[in-house]
Amino acid sequence: MKLVPLPALTKGIDVLTPEGDLAKGAVRKAVNISIHDNGSFDRRPGYQSLITLSGAHSLWRSPAQTRVLVASGDTLYNVDLGTNSATTLFVGLTPDNPIEYTEIGPDIYFVDGAIVRRITPTGVVRRPGVAAVSANRPSLAQAAGGLYPGRYGVAYSLLSDTGEESGLSDTEWIDVTIGGIAVSGISDDTNVTQANVYVTGPNGSVLYLHQTIAWSNTSSIADQTKTRVATGQYLAPMPGGDYVRYFRGRLYVVSGSWVWYSEPLQYGLVSITGGYLTFGRTITMFEPVESGIFVGLRERVLFLRGHGPEAFEQVPLTDRGAIAHTGARVAADFFSPELVPDRGFPVATWLSERGMAVGRADGSLALPQADRISLVADRGRVLFLQHAGIKQAIYCVESLSLGSGGTALTDFSFIDCVGRSIGDSDVQASGRRIKFPQGVGESFGRSQAAGVGSP
């Protein structure tokens, strides 16, 4: 039998060019193979089944590689790759909603479409911040003391066992002719251990901290003690949403077309009078880089250039939108120097209808597959890994809009380390088992979310 040499696949997959016009080195389909930098290729390694978990989705490994998480139903699991086991971490998720994660120091924050929660290094899961008290106000009465006569305002805040302070309650007022003020009606909530009591000066309007007490629903103000100025007016607990990310000292939570951002270094508090941005369309991707934040909508992508919400400049980039839940941050050296010249900062990536998009640290954008790839999908997940010298981004995507007469796109993945791509028909959204390519335990790359179950 005569051996026929196979061509080098130097251009990877091309689904847009007509069959008769495919360039040398391009193919229409490539299944179960890995393509190397020089265009050579070999069979892709098989899969190893690690854990049986019905309906598994939203698989994620922290950038610091301290924790692997996966969701199923209303439960979040902690995955141990050493023992191939999954243990329950938290019960109470919105069932089957996609989960998004971000890491801030030793803590992990995640959202399930409804509530933002924090995972501590010891595995405790709770909402950041303290209860909302802005709609409450204390009850006041005259009591013994040495206050100057005048009109006083009183408010309070709650402190949790971790030292986090809530926003301020509404302010109640009282006219003092002689004596002091008896305070009652201080509310309580889960994990609250202390309360701060604030008071104005006589006939004043500025609230000052008067005292910190072990939590009690009553307190008293008997003298003119005033320390720091209150800063918690019009602050509330951070709302939940669809995406959560960290950028330059603030937590950002995306909900529909809205972006809520926390107070600086107070990740559980948001200003109800101005702590938000809105874009008029559902946000499908939100990825920070060194110089700003890439924001994806279904029909376009823009860049928020600047170091914070008070200085953001909105820069339009492309009319190629972002597919929901495919955004990630990846180390620059995952890509070639030609594609990402600045090797010092991570880049943002997401999947568009024209393949992978790469958002560089300076806010510029590359669509290296735009002339060769076309797909339709509503949402997906991505896993970055490196194995046998090949860097891979494996996407699992699905279309929710295709009816019974269509086929959901659940079998595409793309490899892009020097601008080439291959399809991968084995990445299926079966929802039955978590499967990892051999060697995935060695490196996830810097994965933001991996969905090798259902997206």
What would the pLDDT profile of 305-317 be if each residue is shown by its tens digit? 999 999 999 999 9
pLDDT band at 401 (very low <50, low <70, confident <90, very high): low
Q: Which pTM was predicted? A: 0.83
Check whether 326 has a pLDDT greater than 90.
yes
- Max Cα separation, the chain? 110
Tokens of 402: 């295709």
268-299: per-residue pLDDT in tens? 999 999 999 999 999 999 999 999 999 999 99
pLDDT band at 255 (very low <50, low <70, confident <90, very high): very high
Indicate the domain borders of the chain. Answer: 47-128+238-437, 139-235
417 contacts: CB under 8 Å, gap ≥ 6: 37, 334, 335, 336, 390, 391, 392
- The DSSP result for 346-413, as a single string, is -EEEEEETTEEEEE-TTS-EE-TTTTT-----SEEEEEEEEETTEEEEEEEEE-SS--TTS-------
Question: 216 or 442: which carries more pLDDT confidence?
Answer: 216
Compute the mean pLDDT over every residue in the chain, rounded to the nearest whole number.
84
Check whether 417 has a pLDDT greater than 50.
no
Percent of the chain exceeding pLDDT 90 equals 60
Check whether 20 has a pLDDT greater than 90.
no
432-447: per-residue pLDDT in tens? 333 333 333 222 222 2
Percent of the chain exceeding pLDDT 70 equals 87
The DSSP element (H or E) to which 295 belongs, if any, is strand 292-297
Candidate from 241-245, 336-340, 412-416 with smallest mean pLDDT: 412-416
102-128: per-residue pLDDT in tens? 999 999 999 999 999 999 999 999 999
pLDDT at 346: 95
Contact 220, 210 (CB under 8 A): no
CATH superfamily label, 47-128+238-437: YVTN repeat-like/Quinoprotein amine dehydrogenase (2.130.10.10)
